[in-house]
């Protein structure tokens, strides 16, 4: 079994050092951080966001080291400009003034075409996207078709947005709810390459999407590198959670490629409605709640589904030498709780949402 590479894209919010509210300082922060990181630090939709991208890595340790370097470098740049780098799926506190859209032609066009979706602070969401490769378009689509049923389980591990605009939403991942307002956000349809090209072309021609980069399905072939991109996770302050997600995505992908895809098995016939319900449960309750068995549709403890995912990914984890490490990371997550649970625990202990922001900022750059 060949070992796939992994890459991670993380989106962060910039908050003012004193108020802990989102601030539009990304241009300055990116200009400073780019001196060391070059194009691996990038703009996002709002000027209060920064994206950082790892290099492809075949080894979990190397991936983690790269993530540490990115976070520390961008965090130091943020500090130079009076703000802090925070890994949370949605801002804990609302901004003091309306956020501005990044000054690029593409983002200005998006803001005009989808004005109803961007005219509120809630529109700022930060995700963590995991790439696996190297895969051509046909391989990526076949793999996406087989991974669909497992993506709600991966999502259940990554909830880190319980607060939004100064209130507790009751969700593990409020980012999921906010981001779902955009076109195509959801499970990818089962498509092969000719169908994919025609389908996406029609969405752009009909102005459902502005361009191909606006395909926001939870699994999609990347438009800029030969990978499959998995887009279900909140950004997490705890770096171990990010490493765990990357390892599970790669292990599952390798296992499915070596068996189901290589042998030409049809992908599981899981209704879109069932998958959407499973993603909704993952967003609401996370790992500690109830999930939906992707095959039968029966309600099951989410923890049982996580165990089933690890078992399905086991051949790929073993081939990459990641099985023991994943067991350690998953055990740690189960002991310490999700990112959302840890945010709520800080509020219970300290009593102030500013303390939640401070804890997130410290954890984001402390790894």
- CB distance 89 to 162 below 8 Å: no
CB 123 within 8 A of CB 44: no
Rounded CA-CA distance 236/89 in Å is 7
Instruction: Compute the radius of gyration of the chain from its Cα atoms.
Output: 19
- Sign for the CA dihedral angle at 186, 202, 44, 168 comes to negative
Model pLDDT, residue 119: 64
Give residue-wise pLDDT tens across range 167-219. 999 999 999 999 999 999 999 999 998 899 999 999 999 999 999 999 999 99
Report the chain's mean pLDDT, rounded to a whole number.
Answer: 95
CA–CA gap between residue 157 and residue 349 (Å, rounded): 23
The SS3 of residue 137 is helix
Res 122: pLDDT? 61
Residue with tokens 């991942």: 173
Confidence of residue 81 (pLDDT cuts 50, 70, 90): very high
Q: What are phi and psi of 176, to 5 degrees?
A: -55, -45
Tens-digit pLDDT profile for residues 18-28: 999 999 999 99
Q: How confident is the model at residue 367 (pLDDT cuts 50, 70, 90)?
A: low
Q: How confident is the model at residue 354 (pLDDT cuts 50, 70, 90)?
A: very high
Q: Provide the token pair at 1.
A: 């079994």
For the chain, the structural domain boundaries read 5-366
pTM over 0.95, yes/no? yes
- Candidate CATH numbers 3.40.50.300, 3.30.590.20, 3.40.50.720, 3.30.565.10; the one for domain 5-366: 3.30.590.20
* Cα distances (angstroms) measured from residue 343 to each of 66, 161, 283: 25, 8, 15
């Amino acid at each position: 079994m060949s070992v796939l590479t992994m890459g991670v894209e993380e989106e962060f919010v910039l908050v003012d050092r004193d108020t802990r509210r989102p601030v539009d300082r990304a241009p300055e922060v990116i200009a400073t951080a780019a001196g060391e990181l070059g194009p691996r630090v990038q703009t996002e939709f709002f000027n209060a966001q920064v994206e950082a991208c790892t290099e492809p890595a075949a080894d979990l340790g190397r991936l983690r080291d790269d993530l540490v370097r990115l976070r520390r470098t961008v965090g130091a740049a943020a500090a130079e400009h009076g703000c802090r780098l925070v890994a949370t799926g949605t801002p804990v506190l609302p901004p003091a003034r309306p956020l501005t859209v990044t000054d690029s032609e593409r983002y200005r066009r998006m803001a005009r075409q989808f004005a109803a979706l961007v005219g509120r602070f809630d529109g700022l969401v930060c995700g963590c996207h995991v790439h696996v490769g190297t895969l051509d378009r046909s391989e990526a689509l076949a793999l996406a078709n087989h991974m669909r049923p497992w993506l709600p389980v991966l999502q259940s591990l990554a909830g880190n947005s319980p607060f939004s605009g100064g209130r507790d939403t009751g969700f593990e991942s409020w980012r999921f709810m906010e981001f779902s307002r955009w076109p195509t956000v959801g499970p990818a349809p089962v498509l092969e390459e000719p169908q994919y090209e025609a389908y996406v072309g029609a969405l752009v021609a009909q102005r459902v999407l502005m361009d191909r980069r606006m395909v926001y399905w939870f699994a999609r072939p990347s438009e800029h590198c030969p990978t499959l991109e998995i887009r279900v996770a909140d950004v997490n302050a705890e770096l171990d959670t990010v490493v765990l997600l990357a390892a599970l995505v790669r292990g599952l992908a390798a296992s499915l490629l070596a068996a189901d895809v290589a042998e030409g098995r049809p992908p599981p016939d899981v209704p879109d409605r069932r998958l959407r319900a499973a993603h909704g449960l993952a967003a609401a309750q996370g790992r500690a709640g109830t999930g939906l068995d992707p095959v039968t549709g029966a309600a099951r403890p989410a923890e049982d589904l996580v165990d089933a995912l690890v078992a399905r990914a086991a051949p790929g984890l073993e081939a990459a030498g990641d099985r023991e490490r994943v067991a350690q990371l998953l055990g740690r997550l189960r002991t310490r709780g999700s990112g959302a649970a840890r945010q709520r625990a800080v509020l219970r202990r300290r009593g102030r949402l500013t303390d939640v922001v401070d804890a997130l900022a410290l954890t984001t750059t402390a790894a």
